[in-house]
Amino acid sequence: MSSATPEPAHSPAARRGPTDPLTATDAPGRLVKLPGSVEAAPRIGDADRDRVAGVLAEALAGGYLDPEEHAERLEATYAARTEAALLPLTADLPALTGEPQSSPAPAPSSEPMTAVFSKLRRGGAWPVPPHSIAEARFGALVLDLRQAVFTRREVVLQADSFCGKIVVIVPQNAHVYDTGSALFGKRAMPGGRGGGPSANRGDGAEGVEGPVIRISGRSVFGKLVVIREGGLQDQLREWLGWS
């Protein structure tokens, strides 16, 4: 008469037990999902981050967020990797209250801003898309970004001028980089860079790291001038005849 041989105390089966949730299998070499196991948090993509950035931009323009709060939430938006990290950033804003599954906010317009035989100025709290195009042909185009709402911390502005002039007024704490070219023309950048504790915009955003503005494009018999806030804008308005 034979009897069952007990498992040695040092065997793997004796050590892990029959209900170990990490190693239970229904076939050799294949793990089984057990009841009550934790689901992984859903991942998000760039489209989800851009949607939330658009909502934050509208909240800043509407006065629901101040510049410092907007900068903090925008940074957290593009650092988020899951829905759980993204949802709290807009949970207290009226646009999404009680409507977590509402339709995405429309993306900022990226249509080219063009001045042809004319003077065109754009300013105020307008949402700056990730990529903008500015064109001046026999005209003058002024882009005032001092009160603009940046939907991303880093944006690209393609500035092309032919026998015309493009003027860009940037916030005091902005970081500006020009990678464009000129042919019988000129491209002038502001001295120094903003940001850091000494940056004082005068609008409650002291010490807030400013946006990064990368300017590309080409100036042919034309000019691109970038002016930092707090210096030459009054002279510029005088030259253009705008109050």
In the three-class reduction of DSSP (H, G, I as helix; E, B as strand; rest coil), residue 96 is classed as: coil
Structure-token pair, residue 182: 């000129």
Give the mean pLDDT of 212-239.
Answer: 79
**Beta strand 212-216 pairing with 154-162:** parallel
Residue 191 CB partners (closer than 8 Å, separation 6+): 228
Cα–Cα dist 165/162, whole Å: 8
**Beta strand 186-188 pairing with 223-228:** parallel
Structure-token pair, residue 37: 């196991």
Please write the tens of the pLDDT for every residue from 14-49: 454 444 444 444 555 554 455 555 566 788 888 888
Cα–Cα dist 64/124, whole Å: 17
The predicted pLDDT at position 50 comes to 80
Cα–Cα dist 212/203, whole Å: 19
User: Domain map of the chain by residue range?
Assistant: 41-106, 113-240
Highest mean pLDDT among 58-62, 153-157, 219-223: 219-223
Give the mean pLDDT of 199-220.
Answer: 70
The predicted pLDDT at position 189 comes to 82
